[in-house]
Structure 1
Amino acid sequence: MTGNEIPVGVLFSSTGSYSVIGREGHDGAMTAIAEVNGSNLFDFTLKAITADPACRAENYALLANRMMAKDNCGHIIGCQTSWSRKELLPVLERHQGLLWYSVPYEGFESHDRVIYSGACPNQNVVPLFKHILPQFGKRAFLTGSNYIWGWEMNRIARELLAAEDGAVLGERYVALGDVDIGHLISEIIETRPDFIFNNLIGDSSYAFLRALRDLSERDAAFQPNVMPVLSCNLTEAELPIIGAAAEGVISTSSYFETARYPKNIDFVRRMHDVRGENVGVSAMFTGPYQAVWALAQAIKACGSADSDEVRDLSTKMPLPTPVGDLHIDRTTQHATLTPFIGVVEGAALDHQTRAAFRVVNPQAHALAPDPYLVNLNSERNERLQHAASAISETNASTAGDPGFLRVVK
């Protein structure tokens, strides 16, 4: 392949209601493409074919179709929302292309035309709830943008709470980009949950967090150390936009700038040299960056950019990247990832201090992907079977005793 130029689609929304994370994804992909092209590791270069869907789900399929039909892109790095990913699937099938999808998502999908390098439920919401419930309680208020991500993440939250005898005090949605969230605040004041699970995205989330901040200043019962906001998708890129309202939010991510491991220390230093010392390095930047490097290594290893060959090889070997090796599961095409949990600190200070996530589980270990929560459900079924056996034994031992109540909650 010496001298080859390989077209690669870069499909992120740089304008629109969630453009902050879109620009991060675009910048991460473009930074990695520049590094790959400047490296002596490869006998080919990557040609970025970029497009801005402007946060409109229907635009993703149109632009992806053009990238593959007209520009000969066999691979696309991109998509932020699950809605946009779902829109791409028929196009990918038609052109036999491959999407490298690197953002956290709600799981319950495994498509042969997608490499999922972002966190799935057992790597985001499950560890987050396991960390939070013992500390703050089991009475939750759920919010979300009115599409797949919000619906499914809150459905999983309901199941996790039900398994722990918890309660959902409210579940409310707003349209993508809607900033009219006063009714959510009113209901939170009325229900007074132990915590809030926020699955709003973009401008809707920022408006919600600012309104909660105003509420906490009026009533200490709503301060984040008392009633925290949980997130599975808040990143460093959004903290300057949100400002003081981000203080105390607890988020989970497969990447935080402050995670202390050798490759990340060097990676963050290099990215600060490229982007500026005051620009945070986020999962929304690092995910596409790592996906580009992984794609380049896979093309090199199999000697072809053919999407089927690259996909098959990617699930058979670790793909080296400057952030760390990417391991893709052969069965589900999802990545093995480490679920870090971080709390926002410094957002309420003066503008000279850059807010960041303090990692509260630095000893977290990598988890194999379980996008359908098969293992979680198996563990739950085992507990139920054990409980059922205990009930049967108890009932047998108390047969004939009319005063014994044979009901176990």
Structure 2
Amino acid sequence: MATYPVGILFSRSGGYSRPAEQGYFGAAAAIADVNADTSYPFELAAYHVDPEGNADRYAALCRDLIRSTGAQHVVGCTTSWSRKEVIPVVEKLDALLWYPCVYEGFEVSDNLVYVAACANQHLVPLLDYIVPRFGARAFLIGSNYIWGWETNRIARDILHRSGGSVLGERYVPIGDEDICHLIEEIREKRPDFVLNNLIGPSSYAFLAAYRALGEEDEAFRPESCPVVSCNLCENETILLGEVAAGHYTVSSYFRSLASKENSLFAERMKAGNPGRVADAFFVQAYAAVIMIAEAIGRAGTDEAQAVLEDVRTHEIVTPLGPVKVDRATNHVSLGAHIGRARPDGDFDVVRQCESTIAPDPFLTATPLQRIYDRAAGARKLRVV
């Protein structure tokens, strides 16, 4: 029986190890499922390397991984910074990077498959839900790198074009937990909502401090001024508990999504490891491996461009739903569901997307001027 190597490139240690581990576990779970399924006439061999959250290590580790194992496919990277370090490597060696994390868009590569959402599939639907309900005066925060800069830039553009305003925009270094200055400025500016593009410990520290602010001043409780995110998943909200309760996230996947198929998948993943949560990052990495395996099965080879052509041609059933790679952009169509965090860390899905959203990574077909004015002007009164 043939065995095909698959690289797994996630930082299981370092400043954002908690979300990155979900990508690792998702890819590993899918490889185990493929190897246990006798309908596949081959096996996958996993080769994991850990850059330890150091962006400077990703390129060299990816290069060594591909050369030493012959892997044509690497599932990995969490941050946009690390992804951009790896792209030149897979392009030079003609391998495929399967990127399973939400990102800001404005990028295409023939050697990269984007399995998670870009801005028109996460940020735009999130603002479309939040602004009519809470108002169009935002405060933007983010980790000081590409994801934070670009996601806030797009949000600022949409809000300004749509009659809203940005009351402040602040950044902190990745992993920095000194966020008191953010809280004080938000207290002073009194926005309608906070868009949170922090990652890892910075995000957790901010949400804890914001919870304390809401206990002091009810104008900053979630029902009045929520924190909204595009990248906060169950694996993190379960850790945070009451701290994240009431705040909103947009995602292509929640384990509480109402469907028989999702319930079966979530229960199966939980049975395999009761202490682990199959959140969106987990599922997107899992889906990437299933796409690779299905394409190898049809193409009869793991050669990168043959696999890419197959996933551009065939729709593949995954826990995200049926997916096919867009030939023009190498992105997939995805749903954009809105969830409100519960005290137990799960999400109540307050808006379930009934149809997928086609990828538009350069926002060429997505109107940035949104119809918010009528609803935003009617936002509810708050006690101040």
Residues in 2 aligned to 1:77 and 1:280: alpha-carbon distance in whole angstroms: 19
Aligned to 1:298: 295
Question: 308, 313, 320: which one pairs with 1:311?
Answer: 308
Residues in 1 aligned to 2:263 and 2:241: alpha-carbon distance in whole angstroms: 25
State the Cα distance separating 1:325 from its structure 2 match: 2.1
State the Cα distance separating 1:280 from its structure 2 match: 2.8
Aligned to 1:43: 41
TM-score, normalised with respect to structure 2 = 0.94
Please list the CA deviations of residues 295-348 of structure 1 after superposition, one character each: whole Å capped at 9, or x if unmatched: 000111111100011111111111233553222111111011000000001x2x
Residues in 2 aligned to 1:93 and 1:322: alpha-carbon distance in whole angstroms: 29
Identity %: 45
Aligned to 2:365: 375
Please list the CA deviations of residues 47-100 of structure 1 after superposition, one character each: whole Å capped at 9, or x if unmatched: 100011111111111110111111111100010110010000111111111001
**Paired residues of 1:193 and 1:227 also in contact (CA < 8 A):** yes
Aligned to 1:407: none
**Paired residues of 1:120 and 1:371 also in contact (CA < 8 A):** yes
Using CA pairs under 8 Å that are at least 6 residues apart, name the structure with larger relative contact order, 1 or 2.
2
Question: 318, 321, 338: which one pairs with 2:318?
Answer: 321
Aligned to 2:238: 240
Residues in 2 aligned to 1:87 and 1:174: alpha-carbon distance in whole angstroms: 21
Which amino acid counterpart does residue 89 of structure 2 have in structure 1? V
Which amino acid counterpart does residue 309 of structure 2 have in structure 1? D
Residues in 1 aligned to 2:151 and 2:226: alpha-carbon distance in whole angstroms: 17
Larger radius of gyration: 1
Aligned to 2:4: 6
SS in 2 for 1:186: helix
SS in 1 for 2:249: strand
State the Cα distance separating 1:45 from its structure 2 match: 0.7
Residues in 2 aligned to 1:23 and 1:319: alpha-carbon distance in whole angstroms: 25
Please list the CA deviations of residues 135-156 of structure 1 after superposition, one character each: whole Å capped at 9, or x if unmatched: 1001000000000000000001
**Paired residues of 2:239 and 2:345 also in contact (CA < 8 A):** no
Aligned to 2:226: 228
Aligned to 1:107: 105
Residues in 2 aligned to 1:363 and 1:191: alpha-carbon distance in whole angstroms: 33
Aligned to 2:284: 287
Q: Is structure 2 residue 15 aligned with structure 1 residue 17?
A: yes
**Paired residues of 2:26 and 2:278 also in contact (CA < 8 A):** no
- Once the two structures are superposed, the pairs formed by residues 190-269 of structure 1 within 5 Å of their partners are 190-269=188-267
Residues in 1 aligned to 2:50 and 2:179: alpha-carbon distance in whole angstroms: 28
Q: Is structure 2 residue 310 aligned with structure 1 residue 330?
A: no
Which amino acid counterpart does residue 261 of structure 1 have in structure 2? S
Aligned to 1:138: 136
Instruction: Point out where structure 2 has 5 or more consecutive residues left out of the alignment.
Output: 372-384
State the Cα distance separating 1:363 from its structure 2 match: 4.7
Distance 1:363 1:47, change over 3 A: closer
Which amino acid counterpart does residue 365 of structure 1 have in structure 2? S
Query: How many residue pairs align between the two structures?
Result: 371
Aligned to 1:60: 58
Residues in 2 aligned to 1:279 and 1:46: alpha-carbon distance in whole angstroms: 23
Aligned to 1:91: 89
Aligned to 1:77: 75
Which amino acid counterpart does residue 83 of structure 1 have in structure 2? W
TM-score, normalised with respect to structure 1 = 0.88
Instruction: Point out where structure 1 has 5 or more consecutive residues left out of the alignment.
Output: 348-353, 384-409
Aligned to 1:366: 356
Question: 95, 102, 116: which one pairs with 2:114?
Answer: 116
SS in 2 for 1:144: strand
Which amino acid counterpart does residue 304 of structure 1 have in structure 2? T
Distance 1:163 1:95, change over 3 A: same
Q: Is structure 2 residue 336 aligned with structure 1 residue 339?
A: yes
